[in-house]
């Protein structure tokens, strides 16, 4: 048995964490995984989560999967993304299901896509989150990419994006805010144009919403891509509360798919539940209970909104500090993109060799595509980081 089983390839993001953990240097910095850290470099338990924990203590029915918890959670999650007064929510024209964070929501959707559109492909922006490739590959959906990032401007290649030649009626994965890994988002006007083009071509937009609130600091502004609704699109959305509520370990997320009417919604939901039942039964309820407790209570929600803003502001501040430090060092590289890009990630433009040097010579860890999780930058380490980047980029 098992002789033919080789070692699986390392995950490019989790592999960074592993390398960081075994490094004994006091100067080490982890810019790998996109999970929020405070200015001490520590993971944060939000105050709204602590309050929700206190409120629900002892109230869970641990023996059974509570559909009431799940329904409340889905209802609150969809309001957050589509708007509490949106017609699709009020008229019940959506199928929503609790999922194992954003990854699980994507996986469920990919499986749904394979079952009901077996000949379809998925179009990813180039580049996209590394795990998107794994998720759709494991669901046996072939992938293609569409133009997104411009390496010279380190911004959006909008003209190329708009000139895509995917066949009409294709599935597209879009990052509605805080694009991972580039930190480059379309403007509201550009989203409108994309929406219009998708409508003309009858493409299906699937949004992977992993960082709502962490791009602009405002939850509603970060959902601006959902203006697709105005053009009457049916859309899908994977939501995660891993980063914006600091619940990474709870794997709490939501998959929603908009439908033409309530009858379709019932059918699609039953199919999603059917897929989930065979894959993992049902999701754990604790994280979902925390999220719905926060979102359905005015005070706790207001506290969360404030805390999201604080997290986003700290990251924006670190972007400014890192760029300023590099400029003060007299770097010849243009670092404007550090502050132009948004969300947790800065797509630095560092080459794989430079990334390797940062790890081996300076104990600074990031993925080899040069993506830096700005959450790992702190007041205490920003100058060391800037000096180290300067060292590897100076010729
Ligand atoms: C990331 O890209 O670092 C995050 O989405 C976390 C993860 O699970 O990969």
C-alpha 153 to ligand 1 mean position (Å): 25
Final residue before a domain boundary, out of 252, 277, 300: 300
129 lines ligand 1 (CB under 6 A): yes
315 and 231 in a common domain: no
Residue 54, in any domain of the structure: yes
Say how far apart CA 48 and CA 42 lie, in whole Å. Answer: 18
Using DSSP bridges, classify how beta strands 252-258 and 94-100 pair: parallel, antiparallel or unpaired. antiparallel
pLDDT at 65: 59
The alpha helices in the chain, defined as continuous H runs, are: 14-22, 47-56, 67-82, 87-90, 101-116, 130-138, 158-162, 188-201, 262-280, 286-295, 298-328, 336-340, 352-362, 382-393
Q: What is the CATH number of the domain that holds 232?
A: 3.40.640.10
Residue 175, in any domain of the structure: yes
325 and 186 in a common domain: no
109 and 35 in a common domain: no
89 lines ligand 1 (CB under 6 A): no
Atom of ligand 1 nearest to the CA of 129: 2
382 lines ligand 1 (CB under 6 A): no
ipTM of the complex: 0.94
Burial 257-295 (b: 16+ CB within 10 A, else e): bbbeeeebbeebbebbeebbeeeeebbbbbbbbbbbbbb
pLDDT at 66: 67
Q: What's the domain range around 337? A: 14-44+310-393
Final residue before a domain boundary, out of 237, 266, 300: 300
Q: Whose alpha carbon is nearest atom 4 of ligand 1?
A: 34
C-alpha 33 to ligand 1 mean position (Å): 5
pLDDT at 63: 57
pLDDT at 70: 85
34 lines ligand 1 (CB under 6 A): yes
109 and 18 in a common domain: no
Residue 247, in any domain of the structure: yes
Ligand 1 pocket: which of 124, 134, 180 to mutate (most atoms <8 Å of CB)? 180
Please compute, for residue 42, the number of CA atoms within 13 A of its CA located in the half-sphere on the CB side.
4
Q: In this structure, are residues 204 and 234 in contact, taking their beta carbons and an 8 Å threshold?
A: yes
List active site positions.
129, 208, 243
C-alpha 55 to ligand 1 mean position (Å): 30
Q: What is the CATH number of the domain that holds 385?
A: 3.90.1150.10
pLDDT at 287: 94
Cβ neighbours for 286, distance < 8 A, ≥ 6 positions apart = 60, 250
Residue 1, in any domain of the structure: no
Atom of ligand 1 nearest to the CA of 240: 5
pLDDT at 325: 98
33 lines ligand 1 (CB under 6 A): yes
- How high is the mean pLDDT in each 10-residue block of the chain (395 residues)? 95 94 97 94 96 86 68 94 91 95 98 98 98 98 98 96 94 98 97 97 97 96 92 96 95 97 95 96 92 96 98 98 97 96 97 97 97 97 98 91
C-alpha 35 to ligand 1 mean position (Å): 7
Q: In this structure, are residues 46 and 246 in contact, taking their beta carbons and an 8 Å threshold?
A: yes
Residue 367, in any domain of the structure: yes
170 and 245 in a common domain: yes
366 lines ligand 1 (CB under 6 A): no
């Amino acid at each position: 048995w098992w002789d033919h089983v080789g070692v699986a390839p390392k995950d490019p993001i989790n592999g960074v964490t592993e390398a960081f953990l075994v490094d004994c240097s006091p100067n080490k910095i982890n810019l790998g995984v996109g999970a929020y850290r405070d200015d001490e470099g520590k993971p944060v338990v939000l105050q709204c989560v602590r309050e929700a924990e206190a409120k629900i203590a002892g109230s869970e029915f641990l023996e059974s999967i509570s559909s009431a918890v799940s329904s409340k959670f889905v209802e609150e999650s969809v309001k957050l993304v589509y708007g509490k007064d949106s017609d699709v929510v009020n008229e019940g024209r959506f199928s929503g299901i609790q999922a194992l964070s954003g990854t699980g929501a994507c996986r469920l959707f990919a499986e749904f896509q394979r079952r009901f559109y077996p000949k379809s492909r998925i179009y990813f922006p180039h580049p996209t989150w590394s795990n998107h490739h794994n998720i759709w590959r494991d669901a046996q959906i072939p992938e293609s990419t569409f133009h997104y990032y411009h390496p010279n401007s380190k911004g959006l290649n909008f003209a190329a994006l708009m000139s895509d030649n995917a066949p009409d009626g294709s599935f597209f994965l879009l990052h509605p805010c805080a694009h991972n890994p580039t930190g480059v988002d379309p403007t509201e006007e550009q989203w409108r144009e994309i929406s219009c083009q998708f409508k003309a071509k009858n493409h299906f937009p699937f949004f992977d919403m992993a960082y709502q609130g962490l791009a602009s600091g405002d939850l509603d502004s970060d959902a601006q891509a959902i203006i697709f609704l105005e053009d009457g699109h049916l859309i899908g959305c994977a939501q995660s509360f891993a980063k914006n509520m600091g619940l990474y370990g709870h794997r709490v997320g939501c998959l929603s798919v908009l439908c033409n009417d309530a009858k379709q919604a019932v059918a699609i939901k039953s199919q999603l539940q059917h897929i989930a039942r065979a894959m993992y039964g049902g999701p754990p309820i604790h994280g979902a209970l925390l999220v719905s407790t926060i979102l359905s209570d005015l005070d706790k929600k207001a506290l969360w909104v404030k805390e999201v803003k604080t997290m986003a502001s700290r990251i924006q501040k670190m972007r400014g500090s890192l760029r300023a430090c590099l400029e003060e060092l007299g770097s010849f590289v243009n670092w404007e993109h550090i502050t132009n890009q948004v969300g947790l990630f800065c797509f630095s433009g560092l080459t794989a060799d430079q990334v390797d040097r940062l790890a081996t010579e300076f104990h600074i860890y990031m993925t080899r595509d040069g993506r830096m999780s700005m959450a790992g930058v702190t007041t205490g380490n920003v100058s060391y980081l800037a000096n180290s980047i300067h060292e590897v980029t100076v010729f």
